[in-house]
């Protein structure tokens, strides 16, 4: 698994706009990839394999993750405090999402659910 930085950005006011945009885009891309892996690929297959409905829990997960991602990447967000809050929330969610993906993988391997 890719190593994650210990903090999202440091002090935003001390970064120039180009560096901030680069780091925001990198975090948003990695967060989106992780969300896609967990929510679009892993969870639906796992739920289907164990005979559980794929619907509402997945919808809630997807909505929350997409909302957070959108708060980070849309250019209409000009308020630095709103952007910082979204970036820090995404950064804080990454270990939980990565742990979720790993726990699902272990669960699937132990039960030989995936070929």
In this prediction, residue 75 has a pLDDT band, given cuts at 50, 70 and 90, of low
From residue 39, alpha-carbon distances to 19, 55, 66, 110 in Å are 30, 11, 10, 21
Q: 3-state DSSP helix/strand/coil percent for the chain, to nearest 5?
A: 75, 0, 25
The predicted pLDDT at position 6 comes to 47
What are the structural domain ranges in the chain?
16-110
Arithmetic mean of pLDDT, 77-99 = 82
Condensed to tens digits (0 to 9), the pLDDT of residues 18-42 reads 887 888 888 888 888 888 888 888 8
| Tokens coding 9 | 């950005």
In this prediction, residue 14 has a pLDDT band, given cuts at 50, 70 and 90, of low
- Distance in angstroms (rounded) separating the CA atoms of residues 29 and 31: 5
Stated pTM of the model: 0.61
In this prediction, residue 15 has a pLDDT band, given cuts at 50, 70 and 90, of low
The predicted pLDDT at position 65 comes to 79
In this prediction, residue 77 has a pLDDT band, given cuts at 50, 70 and 90, of low
């Amino acid at each position: 698994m890719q190593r994650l930085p210990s903090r999202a950005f440091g002090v935003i006011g001390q970064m120039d706009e180009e560096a901030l945009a680069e780091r925001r885009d990198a975090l948003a891309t990695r967060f989106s990839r992780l969300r896609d892996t967990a929510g679009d690929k892993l969870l639906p297959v796992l739920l289907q394999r164990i005979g559980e409905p794929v619907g509402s829990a997945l919808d809630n997960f997807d909505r929350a993750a997409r909302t957070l991602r959108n708060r980070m990447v849309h250019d209409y967000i000009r308020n630095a405090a709103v952007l910082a809050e979204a970036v820090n929330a995404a950064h804080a969610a990454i270990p939980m999402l990565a742990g979720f993906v790993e726990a699902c993988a272990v669960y699937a391997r132990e039960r030989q659910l995936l070929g």
